[in-house]
Amino acid sequence: MSAIAAEENVQGSIGGPGIDVRWIMPEGFFEIPMDAESLDETAGQLVELARAVMPEATFEVQLEWAVMVAAHYDSFAEAGIQYSGFVMTEVDGERCTATVTVSMIDLDERAGPHPVGFLGSTMRHLEMGQVSEIALPCGPAVSCIGTRKGSMPGSLTASGADEPVVTSFIQVQIPLSNATVLVLEMGTPTPRAWDVFSAMFAGVVKSVRLFSDAGKPMVMPG
């Protein structure tokens, strides 16, 4: 995966078997390093990221944050995550944050000739949330809006104890013709900023473009 400047935004891209996927991220996103060649390089990049994210924090706090992020790399790999970025802003005086991930997963061989319908049915069966089939410039897709429960480690809370966190999310799955599925997801634990972040994410999803190995634009069939 690579990231390059594009009209004051960040354009990300990931390559799959025969299909290059590109999308545009808004300004202000911090990108989690995913393509370092060694553990030492990853550790160094995470510390630099921590300094950029928390410039006023002590080095010990920055290092603890970097270690916490590093602990998620196994789950990143298991989920097929190719890109992970987050943004922090203020909405009505409250500090808010959101995370966006982009993943590539295998399409279930049972999907048949209408994978969007299969993906939608699967999401509804799993009761992931509110599921809808949508049309994007790059082809048909399925969206799901829901919530997940988790916890915030005590090292990052004011109380010093682990605290429950409810994350609201939007997930969009785009089946591709190479038997893979492009999965984009935005999640935020700050409900006050839901409208802001969901509108931002809609722009990211609509920016997805597909290209062949020869650089020819592609649109997935309905």
Give Cβ neighbours of residue 177 (< 8 Å, ≥ 6 apart).
19, 218, 220, 221
What's the pLDDT tens digit per position in 24-57?
Answer: 999 889 999 887 677 788 888 999 999 998 898 8
pLDDT confidence of residue 5 = 30
pLDDT confidence of residue 158 = 57
pLDDT at 2 over 60: no
Stated pTM of the model: 0.84
Q: What is the mean pLDDT of residues 108-135?
A: 95
pLDDT confidence of residue 121 = 96
What's the pLDDT tens digit per position in 136-174?
Answer: 999 999 999 999 987 766 555 556 667 778 999 999 999
